[in-house]
Chains A and B, each alone.
Chain A
Amino acid sequence: MSRPAVGKALAQWGAVFIKEIKDAWRDRRTLRMVLLLSLVQGPLVLLLVSTLASEKENRIDKREIYAQGMQYAPGLQNFIERQAYTIKVPPADAMDKLAAGQLEDAILVVPADFEQRLHTMEMPTIEIYANSSSRGSDTARDLVRKLLQSYAQERVALTLVLRGVAVASLQPLEVQERDMANANARAAQLTGAMIPLYVLIAVLTGAMGAAMDSTAGERERSSLEPLMMNPVSPWALALGKWGAVALLAALIALLTSLSFIPAQLLIRSDVLQALFRYGLADALRFGLICLPFAGAVAAVLMASSIRGKSIKEAQAGNSLVLMVFMLLPLVSLLNDAAEPDWYYLVPSLAQQTLMLHVLRAEPIALWQWLLPSAIGVVLTIAGLAYVGRAMRSNAVR
């Protein structure tokens, strides 16, 4: 391409870019909604995650258990009270509420012959009623089960000691757990599944409107036909439009990433508050990870949208694109083993993995930065080549 031709193409690119930015800026209602969503998404996610975590903490802190027929097991009652737990009698309709999932607890039911059978070593049966569909009930059941196991262990130990047998013969080893995860990694267990996914969703949904307006919108308004009557290079046109959509997507990525900093004030869980450390550097890393993704998403959504004769048609096509991008990160949730290298080849899964590294304060190798970026660039070029070609062929309705 000669120098004046390059200059002309650049001027055309600039004109298209400025026009698209102006157009998006004037669509205030949509812009306001998109930016607002990207700002409140972070705080909302953290509030949600921390509320769930704090519910669990409160249950453990409350140190209360429901028990029915505890008068038949004075030894067990004594043990539980020694552990600083309060034993409460469940309300009359407790079982019905538990079955209906309205009681976030577990109920211990002691049979009338418990103590007698215990003394005669007839292995009395004790029941824990819980509802596995309720997270709170599950937590309470685990707690009661743990208490019962400790009681059983104590009884066995006492019996053996009374008969002159060393406790070590029953429990030949002692297990001590040492958690090697750092504070960030432990916090990431709570936040890791949701925060990166929400950042990716914000970028995808934010870019979709602008991508559709600049492509299918042109077809719907019948402005693509006069536009293509100008001697404009398809690349200048596609790049100019993409520049505006990608800029908006990148802005959303940055805003969403930054929104988690003030959102920390809303954390309701003490543990999460102590563990979750997310600063400006982390937000900038998030932004950097999302930058090539924002570009690729803008190009792919534009390529999908240009096929639609109207915004409505484009929406149908884009919902498929969105679903694919949102489902890919779920692959990591199904895999408990160490992350394989191919994760970095898959858009959105790669970004989620990288953001998880940031949340866990783990180092990121250069190739881990570069590979997803290169994939993003390839996707962007492919998408734009398609958009440039399709704009001319779809100019006539």
Chain B
Amino acid sequence: MILIDKVSKRFAAQGTGTRWQRKGWRLHRTAQPWVQAVSDISLHAPNGQITGLLGPNGAGKTSTLRMLAGLLAPDSGRLEVDGLSVTQERAKAQARMGILADARGLYPRLTARENMVYFGRLQGLSAPAAHARAEQLADLLELRPLLDRATEGFSQGERVKTALARALVHDPDNIILDEPTNGLDVLATRALRETLLHLCSPEGGSKCIVFSTHIMQEVERLCDQVVVVAHGRNVASGSVADLLAQTGQSDFEDAFVHLAFAATPPQIGVVP
């Protein structure tokens, strides 16, 4: 179970750096421009369900998931994984999550198996357990022909599958996927969809799955509930049917455009 409660985060505007201003004989730091990337975003993802975080590019999806992954500290708000606070018990919370990052970040000189076993060992599995799990995942994700090949020459689809296997190596109860279908062809997308449906089913372990995307079809076909974000804020949440009813649209894409692009633009200001 994943809980994101009114989480906010702002960043210094890119490329501005620290500027200094002379006042008499003294140098003072000038106020630094900032961008409010995430503002009071909330999400509750129960086990056995797929929760979609839907939003246009730059909506704050990746920043939110990075905070959930323990990579960024939120300015305010609460992030919990199975009741464990990500900010206070980061390591324990990280052990309960399997995260497919936007940056797949495979090691090109290692084989698919070695990539998986390495992360398994970092997650605390013994070497034999990590190897056994790599074998299981190779069957689940149809990775067997790739298992002992260096990932250097892998196609985009093969990379995503390997990175997903690596994220699942410790059999986490919570799975977080950032734009998992980016760069995948139709067949690979379909295979991934089936895998996710299996993982959240009781046979697959009733995993809690959160995934971010900007692709409508994925949400319609996969998600039990959707959280729509725009300009770093929650703009709507509910099932696909709820959102269609809420906007009075029959097409989900129209509903999304109605929700996401009617929101107010992001806050930009200066930190004193």
A contacts, CB < 8 Å to B: 8, 11-12, 14-16, 19, 22-23, 26-27, 221-233, 392, 395-397
Known: A15-B121, A15-B122. A26 touches B150 (CB 8 A): yes
A231 and B96 alpha carbons, distance in the complex (Å): 9
A139 and B114 alpha carbons, distance in the complex (Å): 63
A8 and B124 alpha carbons, distance in the complex (Å): 7
Closest to B72 in A: A396
Contact with A along B217-254 (1 / 0, CB 8 A): 00000000000000000000000000000000000000
Closest to B89 in A: A231
A12 is contacted by which of B72, B107, B122 (Cβ under 8 Å)?
B122
Nearest-neighbour CB distance to chain B for A214, whole angstroms, equals: 11
Closest to A7 in B: B124
A231 is contacted by which of B66, B91, B102 (Cβ under 8 Å)?
B91
- Beta-carbon contact of A225 and B105 below 8 Å: yes
Within 149-166 of B, Cβ neighbours of A (below 8 Å) are at 150, 163, 166
Known: A22-B114, A226-B103, A229-B101. A395 touches B71 (CB 8 A): yes
- Beta-carbon contact of A229 and B94 below 8 Å: yes
**A396 proximity list for chain B (CB < 8 A):** 66, 71-72
Does B258 count as interface, using CB distance less than 8 angstroms? no
A-B contact pairs, 7 of them (CB 8 A): A16-B122, A221-B105, A222-B104, A224-B105, A225-B71, A226-B119, A231-B123
A397 and B66 alpha carbons, distance in the complex (Å): 11
- Beta-carbon contact of A223 and B110 below 8 Å: no
Question: Which has the most chain B C-beta neighbours within 10 Å: A223, A227, A230?
Answer: A230
A132 and B103 alpha carbons, distance in the complex (Å): 62
Number of interface residues of B (CB under 8 A): 33
A395 and B90 alpha carbons, distance in the complex (Å): 15
A-B contacts besides A222-B103, A396-B71, 20 pairs, CB < 8 Å? A11-B124, A12-B124, A14-B121, A15-B121, A15-B122, A19-B114, A22-B109, A22-B110, A22-B114, A27-B109, A223-B103, A223-B106, A223-B107, A225-B66, A225-B102, A226-B104, A226-B166, A231-B90, A231-B124, A395-B71
Does B97 count as interface, using CB distance less than 8 angstroms? yes
**B66 proximity list for chain A (CB < 8 A):** 225, 396
- Beta-carbon contact of A229 and B97 below 8 Å: yes
Contact with A along B104-133 (1 / 0, CB 8 A): 111111100010001101111000000000
- Beta-carbon contact of A229 and B99 below 8 Å: yes
Closest 7 CB pairs of A and B: A222-B103, A223-B105, A15-B121, A231-B91, A26-B109, A230-B122, A231-B94
Nearest-neighbour CB distance to chain A for B109, whole angstroms, equals: 4
Does B92 count as interface, using CB distance less than 8 angstroms? yes
**B77 proximity list for chain A (CB < 8 A):** none
- Beta-carbon contact of B119 and A225 below 8 Å: no
**A226 proximity list for chain B (CB < 8 A):** 99, 101, 103-105, 119, 163, 166-167
Nearest-neighbour CB distance to chain B for A395, whole angstroms, equals: 5
**A228 proximity list for chain B (CB < 8 A):** 70-71
Nearest-neighbour CB distance to chain A for B150, whole angstroms, equals: 7
Does B35 count as interface, using CB distance less than 8 angstroms? no
**A221 proximity list for chain B (CB < 8 A):** 105-108
Closest to B176 in A: A229
**B106 proximity list for chain A (CB < 8 A):** 221, 223
Known: A222-B105, A226-B166, A229-B97. A19 touches B71 (CB 8 A): no
Does B43 count as interface, using CB distance less than 8 angstroms? no
**B69 proximity list for chain A (CB < 8 A):** 229
B103 is contacted by which of A14, A23, A225, A232 (Cβ under 8 Å)?
A225
Closest to B119 in A: A230
Question: Which has the most chain A C-beta neighbours within 10 Å: B97, B105, B119?
Answer: B105
A227 and B106 alpha carbons, distance in the complex (Å): 10
A228 and B121 alpha carbons, distance in the complex (Å): 14
A86 and B106 alpha carbons, distance in the complex (Å): 74
Nearest-neighbour CB distance to chain A for B224, whole angstroms, equals: 24
- Beta-carbon contact of B121 and A11 below 8 Å: yes
A306 and B95 alpha carbons, distance in the complex (Å): 25
**B123 proximity list for chain A (CB < 8 A):** 230-231
Nearest-neighbour CB distance to chain B for A381, whole angstroms, equals: 22
Nearest-neighbour CB distance to chain A for B265, whole angstroms, equals: 24
- Beta-carbon contact of A230 and B110 below 8 Å: no
Question: Which has the most chain A C-beta neighbours within 10 Å: B70, B71, B110, B150?
Answer: B71
A229 and B167 alpha carbons, distance in the complex (Å): 9
A23 is contacted by which of B94, B105, B107, B166 (Cβ under 8 Å)?
B107
Nearest-neighbour CB distance to chain B for A245, whole angstroms, equals: 16
A225 is contacted by which of B101, B110, B150 (Cβ under 8 Å)?
B101
- Beta-carbon contact of B71 and A232 below 8 Å: no
**B92 proximity list for chain A (CB < 8 A):** 231
A229 and B70 alpha carbons, distance in the complex (Å): 7
Nearest-neighbour CB distance to chain A for B121, whole angstroms, equals: 4
**A227 proximity list for chain B (CB < 8 A):** 105, 122
**B90 proximity list for chain A (CB < 8 A):** 231
**A224 proximity list for chain B (CB < 8 A):** 105
- Beta-carbon contact of A15 and B150 below 8 Å: no
A16 and B118 alpha carbons, distance in the complex (Å): 8
Nearest-neighbour CB distance to chain A for B162, whole angstroms, equals: 11
Nearest-neighbour CB distance to chain B for A18, whole angstroms, equals: 8
